Structure 1
Amino acid sequence: MVISASSSFGALESAGPALVWAIVLTFVFIECAVILGLFLPGDSMLITAGIVLANHSSGAAHVWALSAGAMIAAIFGNQVGYAIGHRSGNHILARRGGKYLNYTNLHRVNILLERYGFWAVLIARWIPWVRTLCPLVAGAAKMNHSKYTVASSLGAILWAPVLLLIGFYGGSLLNQVSWLMPAVLTAMVALLLIGTALGIRHYRQEMARPLEEVTVEEVLD
């Protein structure tokens, strides 16, 4: 049985803003706080959420409120990630042969923090895998917490709300062509679901690899 784009689109519309809120806040927090976030398609999720809200009569109110909520979730997630890294001392758990959680990536993030500090935390928000590793490495490296908080908070303001609003106002333009919105939205949601499923699979594969404990000093060498 073939499911048409219009019927899939109707199902998306009936899901309602509450589901969008739940997904966005959960994804944003996880991406900023824990290792699982390395494998989630956060940027495309935010844009897709904005497009979904563009199809609801109260979408404008929701997208602005959700922008504030996503910003808070990102800031809170950053603090949790920093606390996890700080609690680990200067020891960071990598995965031998890992695709993302490996010595090389930890080295890159630590070098960025060492050289650019505040600006590295701010810019890291726009680089998917760095976005998740940065709080953990910053905490383990004992980066000044006040400086980190200011930079990560500014980054949160310039990330989640911007992508949500791009999706929302872009979706409003798509609505001007009757067939374009259902096709684009259905495709984006399908890609988001596939990306999330693959991400969780890759996360499990990554966590199954042997642990490799390194110190902050080692990844700076």
Structure 2
Amino acid sequence: MLEFVQNAGPVMIWLIVAGFVFCECAFIIGLFLPGDSLLLTAGLAMATTGHSAMSVWGLAVAAFIAAIVGNHVGYGIGVKMGDHVLAKQDGRYLNANNLHRVKHLMDRHGFFSVLIARWIPWVRTLCPLVAGAVGMDKRTFTVASVLGSLIWAPFLLLIGYYASTALEEYKWVLQWALRGMVVMLIAGTIVGIVGYRREMSKPNVTVDLED
């Protein structure tokens, strides 16, 4: 894994991280993806394998854009669904209770709910969908989405990078930490995909968000 990160060009790494972030913000599968762990691991990996600060900042910009675009795709899907959103009967995350909890969060906090959602994994994915479904003002959503994306994806990635850079003299510790984080990330992704397939196999139920 270390050799892959070291030998991979910046564009390849950008595509992997940005694609992961986009999916987490845009589609239901994002409910099951470890996005926070990916960003921290990517920052640590790039520091440990000698990528330049410019490359890391480029990745931060790519992740920032991917988060914004992903949010708007999720919002668009919500607009098409309208007030009646499909959920899963006895679903772990995509259930009526969680959709109503996100709706309640948006009713209470509006603009700030989109900012808060960035830091709550399953809410991060459902928030754009619900915002579109209930007709949240698109301009308000866009501004909140941009600010939320800025304080989430680049922040976590750069924290991973600069925290690792500050500990350069303990490279052996960083390398073992990176190996552990990569193992947990891969395991989390596999478990997430299995969980997603299990969730999608459950019967659909229609949730009226206006209830």
TM-score norm. by structure 2 comes to 0.95
**Segment of structure 1 superposing worse, 194-203 or 21-30:** 21-30
The 2-side partners of 1:19 and 1:187 are apart by: 22
Contact 1:17 1:53 in 2 (8 A): no
Which of 177, 194, 199 in structure 2 is aligned with 1:206?
Answer: 199
| 2:187 is the alignment partner of 1:184 | no
Query: What is the letter of the counterpart of residue 151 of structure 1?
Result: A
**Which ranges of 4 or more aligned residues in structure 1 deviate by more than 2 Å?**
8-20, 55-59
Deviation string 1:97-147 (CA, Å, 9 cap, x unpaired) is 000000110010000011110011111111000000000000000011111
Which of 136, 140, 158 in structure 2 is aligned with 1:147?
Answer: 140
* Corresponding residue for residue 88 of structure 1: 81
* Corresponding residue for residue 52 of structure 2: 59
Superposed CA RMSD in Å reads: 1.3
**Alpha-carbon offset, residue 12 of structure 1:** 4.2
Query: What is the letter of the counterpart of residue 45 of structure 1?
Result: L
Query: What is the letter of the counterpart of residue 159 of structure 1?
Result: W
The 2-side partners of 1:149 and 1:17 are apart by: 28
**Segment of structure 1 superposing worse, 168-177 or 85-94:** 168-177
Pairing of 1:136-175 with structure 2 (within 5 A):
136-175=129-168
**Alpha-carbon offset, residue 11 of structure 1:** 4.5
User: % of aligned pairs identical?
Assistant: 53
The 1-side partners of 2:179 and 2:23 are apart by: 24
**Alpha-carbon offset, residue 55 of structure 1:** 2.9
Instruction: Give unpaired runs (5+ residues) of structure 1.
Output: 1-7
Q: What SS is found at the alignment partner of 2:170?
A: coil
How many residues were matched structurally? 211
**Alpha-carbon offset, residue 21 of structure 1:** 1.2
The 2-side partners of 1:146 and 1:191 are apart by: 38
Pairing of 1:26-175 with structure 2 (within 5 A):
26-175=19-168
* C-alpha distance 185-159 of structure 1, shift in aligned 2 (>3 A): same
**Segment of structure 1 superposing worse, 9-18 or 93-102:** 9-18
Which of 188, 192, 198 in structure 2 is aligned with 1:195?
Answer: 188
* Corresponding residue for residue 3 of structure 1: none
The 2-side partners of 1:214 and 1:68 are apart by: 36
Query: What is the letter of the counterpart of residue 181 of structure 2?
Result: M
Q: What SS is found at the alignment partner of 2:171?
A: coil
Deviation string 1:136-192 (CA, Å, 9 cap, x unpaired) is 000000011111111111000000000010010112133211311210011101110
The 2-side partners of 1:178 and 1:28 are apart by: 28
Instruction: Give unpaired runs (5+ residues) of structure 2.
Output: none
